[in-house]
Amino acid sequence: MADDQIKKKDGTILTGQVTKVEGGQVFISSRGGRDIIPYNLNDIQSVEMAPPADMEKVKDAAPATVVATLEPLVKQYTGLPAVWMIEAMTQLAEAYAATGKQDQAGAMYNQIEQLYPGSPYLVLVVAGKAKLALLNGKVEEAITALKPLIDQANQNVAPSPTEGSLYAQAFLVYGQALEAQKKFPEALEAYLTVKTIFYQKSDLAEQADQFAAKLRQQNPGLSIE
């Protein structure tokens, strides 16, 4: 296994295998696994670490499977400043919501905001909370939360792959909220925006295509105004 790269806030680079986060410390196995050394989490700026195998296992998995698989992983690494960790927590929150555990989903989103302030991946939190609002019939609340992101995204004419995948999540939920308001042309435009501009993540682009096709099927002759 390749070593993880742990960058401290003082610029020091540590190498080894991150084994867990516990009690405000990151535990790193080094020297062939003979030594496990704790470092203060507050001293760590970022961690470059391949996503654990469990992240791949939950791809296209049922929500209950996602919960069973990711709960122990998130518990093991919560607070680790690694991109995959935020994605894992977001996936777990979505799975909680899909299995009726909305309080746990909301708590997970709040924890992400607390642990990773300023992260661009907080777009996923906004989209996730908006989706929770939709599930509870709070359509206006969802629209209000998403609108600043949508306006920001519409000004980005050349999104990076990361930006595209994040904005795609927001537009998918935005389209669903507009559908709930029976604003079908606007909803269709939101889905087509994912297909044409924020298509960088293929599964999200495919989902947008499915949403658009279903909306057109239910509303023959529908087009963007």
Examine the domain organization and report whether 36 and 106 are in the same domain.
no
Within 10 Å of residue 103's Cβ, how many Cβ atoms?
11
State the residue range of the domain holding 199.
120-225
Q: pTM here?
A: 0.87
Cα(87)–Cα(95) distance, integer angstroms: 12
Residue 8 burial (C-beta neighbours within 10 Å; 0-12, 13-18, 19+): middle
Sequential pLDDT tens for the chain (225 residues): 579 999 999 999 999 999 999 999 999 998 666 678 999 999 999 999 999 999 989 988 999 999 999 999 999 999 999 999 999 999 999 999 999 999 999 999 999 999 999 898 999 999 999 999 999 999 999 999 999 999 999 998 788 999 999 999 999 999 999 999 999 999 999 999 999 999 998 989 999 999 999 999 999 999 887
| Contact indicator for 47, 17 with CB cutoff of 8 Å | no
When divided into structural domains, the chain yields a total of 3
Q: What is the pLDDT of residue 1?
A: 58
Q: DSSP string covering 94-156, please?
A: HHHHHTT-HHHHHHHHHHHHHHSTT-TTHHHHHHHHHHHHHHTT-HHHHHHHHHHHHHHHHT-
- 143, 196: one domain: yes
Quick one: 171 exposed, middle or buried, by C-beta within 10 A (0-12, 13-18, 19+)? buried
- Residue 35's pLDDT is what? 77
What CATH number does the domain containing 194 carry?
A: 1.25.40.10
Q: Please check whether residues 215 and 149 belong to one and the same domain.
A: yes
Closest CA to 70 of 90, 47, 50, 97: 90
